[in-house]
Chain A
Amino acid sequence: MPENVLSCLIFLPLLGALVLLLWPRPVGAWAKWLTIGLTFGQMGLATGLYLYFEKGPEAPVGVYDLASYQFVEQASWFEISLGRSGRLSAEYLLGIDGLSVGLVLLATIVLFIGAVASYTIEKLPRGYFALYLVLSSAIVGCFVALDFLLFYLFFEFMLLPMYFLIGIWGGERREYAAVKFFIYTLVGSLLILVVMIGLYLSVIDPAKTARQAGLILHEAEASPEIIRKVQAALSAKKIAPENQVYTFRMTAMMDPDNFAPNALLGKSASGFALDFRFWAFWLLFIGFAIKLPMVPFHTWLPDAHVEAPTPVSVVLAGILLKIGGYGMMRLAFPIFPEQAQAGMLVMGFIGVLSILYGALNALAMDDLKKMVAHSSVSHMGFVLLGLAALNSEGAHGAIYQMWSHGILSALLFLLVGVLYDRTHSRLISHYRGLLGAMPYFGFFVMIGFFASLGLPGFSGFIGELFTLLGGFGSAGLPGWLVAGGVLGIVLGAAYFLWALQRMFLGKLWLREASWRDKIQDLHPREWLMLSLLSLLTLITGLMPGLVFGPMSRSVEAWIQWIWGT
């Protein structure tokens, strides 16, 4: 693999977006082919990444140790002097480890599917595809950035394309949904920003500080001894403030020795009326929980989904939500491990609450898309439950559940889109006995529904199983709480099967007689997308090792890091 494959992943679509925007004449059909081609290329690159990613028992772990990340790209982005109070350094730092490799692959797969699903977009194609490409580069950037500022930049950068994609190409109440989405996510990201500022002004980069203090000439020369020396000098307050180089690097933030002695977010900071580490952790948590989304911050999701066009829903449910879970794993938990330990119960409770609340809501929905949206809330609750368990099974399960839900929610939203394209109605009560009229469609719906409700053999089963195992095995979560999660699976089975029964079984009946001519079975394009996703959920369900394999070492290291062993 080439050295800068991660940069290629990010900038390839951005380049395409530029071409689209600067093209002097109105764009033709090639715009969609360009988008499909670029996202396909992205997917190819990510597959290569996955294949070349070092796996196995001896693989480097990543997580808290920058040297053992893979495909690392590092360049100084900017370094400015803040006068008496030190220097500020940000880096262009990319890399992946076991936590992110699967998610990068998932992101590119879903983006490719979304691009194919965008084939039917006719309104303002130049704007749509340019925004879509920008979105896809921002999403991938989020998963590979190891510098907090860079991460935040990509995180915010997703916001506006998404806002316009919903607001211009959306359904009836699109402006409302777009603004709601925008405000919610913006509030979330501002919470993250608050913590980010607090963190970077607390954390120094030992190598650069050593250079600044004159211990070494170039930061590349920093040996472990030098770094330890700098850290010791730092805690002894022997480093002049103007020589302290603050950094946004995530791995530096995880090491408590890098915190300046008087920093409010440092380990030793005490004596203030507020426990800042506590607040910082929960602000980060809420910021990511809005994205995830967790009850009670989930209300933007059904609106956004219902109004968004099908491909945008696919991308939103398939990957955007995963960034919430990923952010917790990558930032909130390892930077504030003691707070994560203390908060297990609360987080587990929120997770189970989301599982049940989402499932109950889904049960009450007549709009198929709303039902799927609420089921997303429920399924993402498992992710949080798995993370809150803070043990190996739970963390494995959480990442697996993210992967599985990415594939399955994409599948489900595509299926809703198929129906909506034909009749422009998504209400469950408008259809009966569809199986006879659209047998292949019905087949894929069954795959989607059964996989989502956790039928063994499909990916949904593995994810839910492992998160629940983790929950039951966790010392910090009471058994009755996790049992609530099991109840969620039962409810999930209920709403999926009930919808299946109402819509597909029985004698064919449609609300409008004229729909009968419209409900043709699947086109080849739909075949392609649906069968690809169905295959993925089946294969990874039968061979979970494909997903577990690359992440195992990192997840183990992550757990050890959090428990400090």
Chain B
Amino acid sequence: MFSPELIESLRQKLSLLSPSLVGLGFELMLAGVGLFLLLLDVLLPKKPVTFFWWVATGGLLAAGAVLAGAHFYFPVEETSYLLGKMLRITAETLYFKGLLGISALLTLWMLRGSAFFHRLDFPAGAFLFLFLSNVLGLSVLAMSAHWLSVYFSLELVSVSAYLLTAFHFEPRAGEGSIKYLLFGATASAVMLYGLSFLYGFTGTLEIFSPTFLQVPVSKHPVLGLVWVLALGGLLFKMAAFPFHIWAPDVYQSAPTPIVAFFSVAPKVVALWVLWQIASFLYEIEELRRLFSLFWAGVALLSIGLGNFAALWQTHLKRLMAYSSIAQTGFLLVVLVVPSPGGFSALLFYTTVYALMNFGLFWGIAKMASPEETLDCLAGKGREQVLAGGVLVLMAIALVGLPPTAGFTAKLLIFSGLWEAYQTWPHPALLVLFIFGLLNAAVFAFLLSQNSFLAFFQRKKHQRFAGKKYLILTCL
């Protein structure tokens, strides 16, 4: 029935698959553990939350071990492709996957300390399954080399994120979730529409295909717009301007550990994908200039809008949402100059950024009372010195003050920007350089409102006067 040729060709195809299996070990483990948890959740009459937690954590650790193993399998200096040309793996990709794994572990650790997680009726298995799917999607996204895998993994991340947001068992959580979903679905539709035109212009959907470089932008001005549309999905995941609108509602309604994860992992991974695309496109001078300006503009608007909108917030997590929009802007500055120096800045900044955010949210989760208004932190730092200290330290680092790593990161990024300006003196870059640095003052004011408040006893005192004052200074 089976001819020897057929069997031989099948064997060949299987042998092609085997590196894919090693490369996808992390993802396969995650999927397995997630499905196992879902099954347990359905089958077990009682919900042993701690057991579920240990299964998820153990699974994640094992997946991490597989990931570490993959380091030895894939040579450092080489690019390997998996599943045809859908995914690709480099040493840097593995690094970002590792960062993702660490973020996931930190989130799980924060979850274990949260009150809602231990409630009796909480479907912990399903929750953890969704969380692991989110991690899985991000991990595939980090490896994507084809627009299909970008779209597919983005959707996996998005759908699980909608549900994670709704999982708070509060009526308001559903509201954040549906707004997130409607906005997210629109963003992905926009992205798809842009993608379809990219496909039309080049005849391929492989991201790193040289044909993308051969279509001259000057002849097809639409192409620039199409690119922007196509990148919209990633910008949405990063909460960058103008795809940032969902962030405050979602941050407010989702559980704090999940917010911490949202504020780190999707941004870091999306930034990594964008960086790959940017450094690929920047080989063509014309595209480089166009995109430099585009990223400079998005970064500038994200920073400005996030910081200034945050000034008016009274809810702690809404404030964090806006300041995280501003942080996205700072992250995007890396894209303006994808030089080798810029890459080390990217690695350094994303790592530090992840740690800073988890520290910050950990401090908030420890100290904030359930209503999560700004004032609820007042004076808490004196009762919980450790959490308060961590909060202040992370806030300082996020502002980018020395002697924290946040300062070093910002120094590296803005040095790169200055270098870019020295070679190509476009005013937009200078504006970004100055405005970006000076915005640290606004940002410092914001964080001084919540984190430093923790050590002062009085509430609300003089806040508004200070705000007006600050805006005057900025203008």
Contact = CB atoms under 8 A, between A and B. Distances in A.
Instruction: Please tell me whether chains A and B touch each other in their complex, using a CB distance cut-off of 8 A.
Output: yes
B461 interface: yes
B437 A190 contact: yes
Interface stretch (A192-200, A342-350, A394-402, A551-559): A192-200
Contacts of A272: 425
B458 interface: yes
A179 B466 contact: yes
B433 interface: yes
B441 A198 contact: no
Interface in B434-475: 434, 437-438, 440-441, 444-445, 448, 452, 455-456, 458, 461-462, 465-466, 469-470, 473
B84 interface: no
B403 A182 contact: no
A262 B438 CA distance: 26
A163 interface: yes
B402 A168 contact: no
B438 A198 contact: no
Contact of A263 (B396, B422, B448, B452): B422
Q: Give the one of A85, A156, A173, A201 with max B CB within 10 A.
A: A85
A182 B448 contact: yes
B343 to A, nearest CB: 8
Given A83-B340, A167-B456, A201 B419 contact: yes
B401 A201 contact: no
A540 B425 CA distance: 52
Contacts of A124: 382
Contacts of B414: 197
Contacts of B440: 186, 190
Instruction: Report, as a range, how many residues of chain B touch the other chain.
Output: 35 or more
Contacts of A217: none
A84 interface: yes
Nearest to A263: B422
B122 interface: no
A200 B396 CA distance: 24
B422 A194 contact: no
B341 A82 contact: yes
Nearest to B345: A82
A521 to B, nearest CB: 35
A309 B469 CA distance: 24
Given A85-B419, A167-B452, A182 B444 contact: yes
A180 B224 CA distance: 44
B401 A84 contact: no
Interface string A159-191: 110011001100001111001101110110011
A163 to B, nearest CB: 7
A159 B401 contact: yes
B452 A163 contact: yes
Contact of B339 (A84, A174, A191): A84
Contacts of A200: 415
B280 interface: no
A122 to B, nearest CB: 15
A263 B421 CA distance: 10
A83 B401 CA distance: 25
A295 interface: no
A509 interface: no
Contacts of B425: 264, 272
A299 to B, nearest CB: 9
B420 to A, nearest CB: 9
B411 A197 contact: yes
Nearest to A199: B418
B339 A85 contact: yes
Contacts of A174: 456
A439 B452 CA distance: 43
Contacts of A262: 422-423
Interface string B417-431: 011011101000010
A2 to B, nearest CB: 25
Contacts, number: 104
Contacts of B469: 180, 183
Contacts of B461: 175-176
A198 to B, nearest CB: 6
A153 interface: yes
B456 A168 contact: yes
A88 interface: yes
A444 interface: no
Contacts of B415: 82, 88, 197, 200-201
Contacts of A157: 402-403
Contact of A175 (B403, B407, B462): B462
Contacts of A159: 401
A306 to B, nearest CB: 14
Contact of A183 (B341, B343, B444, B462): B444
A278 interface: no
B473 A187 contact: yes
A50 interface: no
A152 interface: yes
A174 B466 CA distance: 12
Interface in B328-373: 339-341, 343-344
Interface string B386-403: 000000000010000111
Contacts of A175: 456, 458, 461-462, 466
A187 B339 contact: no
B403 A84 contact: no
B402 A194 contact: no
Nearest to A153: B402
A182 B453 CA distance: 14
Contacts of B401: 156, 159-160
A159 B400 CA distance: 13
Given A152-B402, A190-B440, A264-B422, A176 B396 contact: no
A83 B418 contact: no
A88 B421 CA distance: 18
A193 B411 CA distance: 9
Interface string A129-155: 000000000000000000000001100
Contacts of B411: 197
B473 A160 contact: no
B349 to A, nearest CB: 14
A197 B461 CA distance: 37
A91 to B, nearest CB: 15
A280 to B, nearest CB: 12
Interface string A401-435: 00000000000000000000000000000000000
A264 B421 contact: yes
A164 B455 contact: yes
Nearest to B414: A197
A183 B473 contact: yes
A427 to B, nearest CB: 22
Contacts of B421: 264
Q: Give the one of A88, A124, A191, A193 with max B CB within 10 A.
A: A193
A84 B402 contact: no
Nearest to A274: B430
A194 B433 contact: yes
Nearest to A189: B401
Contacts of B382: 124
B437 A156 contact: no
A180 B466 contact: yes
A173 B444 contact: no
22 contacts: A80-B344, A82-B415, A83-B341, A152-B402, A156-B402, A156-B407, A157-B402, A167-B452, A173-B462, A175-B458, A175-B461, A179-B448, A184-B473, A190-B441, A191-B438, A193-B437, A194-B438, A198-B418, A201-B418, A201-B419, A262-B422, A274-B430
Interface of B: 339-341, 343-344, 382, 396, 401-403, 407, 411, 414-416, 418-419, 421-423, 425, 430, 433-434, 437-438, 440-441, 444-445, 448, 452, 455-456, 458, 461-462, 465-466, 469-470, 473
Given A168-B456, A179-B448, A186-B444, 14 more contacts: A153-B403, A160-B401, A167-B455, A173-B462, A175-B462, A175-B466, A176-B462, A179-B466, A182-B445, A187-B441, A190-B438, A194-B434, A197-B415, A200-B415
Which 4 A-B pairs have CB atoms at the shortest separation, nearest pair first? A83-B340, A82-B341, A176-B462, A83-B341
